[in-house]
Amino acid sequence: MASVSKVIIIGGGIGGLTLARACLDVGIAVELYEKRGLDAMLSGPGGIFIQRNALRVYKLLQSGQIYQRFYHSGGKILKGGFFDRQGEPLYINAPQFIGEEDLGVCLLRPELQQILLEALPEGTVRTGVAFEKFEETDNGIRVFFSDGCTVEGDILVGADGLYSKVRARLNGRERLEEPVYSGTCCWRGYFEGSGLPLDSQYSWAEFWGQGTRFGYFDVGGGRFAFYAFHNTEVGGNDDALGGSLNALRSLFKDYADPVPAIIEALEGEKIYRDDIVDRLPLGSQWGQGRVTLIGDAAHPVQPSIGQGGCMAVEDAFELASLLFTNYSGGDTIPSVLRQFEASRTQRVTRVFNSSRQVGKLAQADTALGCFLRNWIYKLTPTRLADLQFKWLFDYQPQWN
Ligand SMILES: Cc1cc2nc3c(=O)[nH]c(=O)nc-3n(C[C@H](O)[C@H](O)[C@H](O)COP(=O)(O)OP(=O)(O)OC[C@H]3O[C@@H](n4cnc5c(N)ncnc54)[C@H](O)[C@@H]3O)c2cc1C
């Protein structure tokens, strides 16, 4: 096929930034355009689990430099588990059964973004530039931005997230339809761990109540990210309660420590609230012609198994790897992009289904449902529970 010498990426989230690095690693030029200003691009709520499937990608990129920096800034994923709201253990992981010393790392989102940005040569990322539309030319793709500028490249990748405009334009639309609401909203932020009654044997813990749950995890440097879920109406806010801190106080008042103590420690900290949504899988074709999608633009999932961003990382690696390997083949550029999409479909669909299933179980909101959920988790042998996601964590990225 004609070689790909320049990729245009829309979106500077984890997917777009990782793809930029992966392309540069295989000698393909990239330009990344992000609609937000730099400060906003480097912000983000709470923390993120980079689990071992995605972490293996970073071991390969830039000779492992990103991987090293993650461990320098972040918190290692170690022993942790699910508890009922009184603090009784329901499931505690047993990393030794999985046979990996490295389960992954958790980072504050702004630190993740900063590390990924700093892994790119200056000038690769242009911020404050919003994608507007594209058109195919005789031998490439032309991209139009809202400020009237245009650029040209060999392929266009929409890494522009849940409300992807690239995906909307592929469907001949101005904007995408609303995503599917899960019935749950989520608060996120972070806190300093010192002085709080956290059990030091756990790097992460999640407490399950009735229609609510609260979790926290180590993000390095004595800091912890938290998240709290609540089954409620779409589009809600905490104004009537005088803010998110009061909403959390009221929802989690009958939880055992450390949950109420953590909530009190959030006084004065920024707390983000979002509705939890996803989109039904697209099937085996995500793009058209010289345009493809990665990450949330193609397959947003509920966060119940902490894999949305990890899938974006895998997508980024697999796309760069395929563009590299097909340089001298007989395929056309569009056919290589369709191969990429088809190769990812089964895996991301499985993650979508698992995320919905786990979310539904964890957010049980009847007394019977909670009893059954807790009973299932208590009685399932740890080894079996850990093995259920073996298919996910067995991912072994390789440059072809
Ligand atoms: C509560 C919660 C917890 C989660 N926890 C985890 C976790 O622990 N582990 C995990 O792997 N995943 C987790 N996820 C999922 C993860 O956050 C997403 O899957 C991931 O951020 C998607 O990355 P992305 O790069 O595809 O999109 P995004 O991060 O959404 O980035 C898209 C970028 O595109 C930009 N953009 C949008 N439109 C345009 C335009 N027109 N022009 C230019 N730029 C544009 C946006 O400004 C943005 O910077 C969680 C999600 C939630 C809601």
Cβ–ligand 1 distance for 159 under 6 Å, the answer yes
| Residue of minimum CA distance from atom 9 in ligand 1 | 306
Say how far apart CA 153 and CA 148 lie, in whole Å: 17
The mean-pLDDT minimum among 121-135, 171-185, 239-253, 370-384 falls in 370-384
Structure tokens given for 111: 């630190």
pLDDT of 308 over the 90 cut: yes
Dump pLDDT digits (tens) for 29-74.
999 999 999 999 999 999 999 999 999 999 999 999 999 999 999 9
Give the pLDDT band (50/70/90) at residue 295. Answer: very high
Give the pLDDT band (50/70/90) at residue 252. Answer: very high
pLDDT at position 331 is 83
| Residue of minimum CA distance from atom 30 in ligand 1 | 161
How many residues does the structure list for the chain? Answer: 400
Looking from the CA of residue 307, the nearest atom of ligand 1 is 11
Q: What angle do CA 240, 271, 69 make, to 5 degrees?
A: 170
pLDDT at position 385 is 79
Average pLDDT over residues 193-197: 95
Looking from the CA of residue 130, the nearest atom of ligand 1 is 42
Looking from the CA of residue 188, the nearest atom of ligand 1 is 1
Q: What is the DSSP string of 300-359?
A: ---GGGS-HHHHHHHHHHHHHHHHHHTTTSS--HHHHHHHHHHHHHHHHHHHHHHHHHHH
Cβ–ligand 1 distance for 161 under 6 Å, the answer yes
Pocket test for ligand 1, best of 43, 167, 278, 296 (most atoms within 8 A of CB): 296
Report residue 395 CA to chain centroid gap: 16
pLDDT at position 51 is 96
Cβ–ligand 1 distance for 160 under 6 Å, the answer yes
Cα(39) to centroid of ligand 1, in Å? 16
Cα(195) to centroid of ligand 1, in Å? 32
- Number of helices followed by number of strands (H, E) in the chain: 14, 18
Dump pLDDT digits (tens) for 318-335.
999 999 886 555 689 999
pLDDT at position 382 is 82
Average pLDDT over residues 202-213: 97
Give the pLDDT band (50/70/90) at residue 1. Answer: low
CA distances in angstroms from 57 to 36, 52, 60, 279, listed in the order given:
26, 9, 5, 25
Comparing 326 with 219, the larger pLDDT belongs to: 219
Pocket test for ligand 1, best of 48, 50, 146 (most atoms within 8 A of CB): 48
Cα(203) to centroid of ligand 1, in Å? 24
Cα(33) to centroid of ligand 1, in Å? 15
Average pLDDT over residues 121-142: 97
Average pLDDT over residues 359-368: 95
Straight-line distance from the first to the last Cα atom of the chain, in angstroms, rounded to the nearest whole number = 17
CA distances in angstroms from 367 to 107, 120, 209, 373, 376, listed in the order given:
35, 51, 10, 10, 14
Cβ–ligand 1 distance for 307 under 6 Å, the answer yes
Percent of the chain with pLDDT over 70: 97
Average pLDDT over residues 257-283: 97
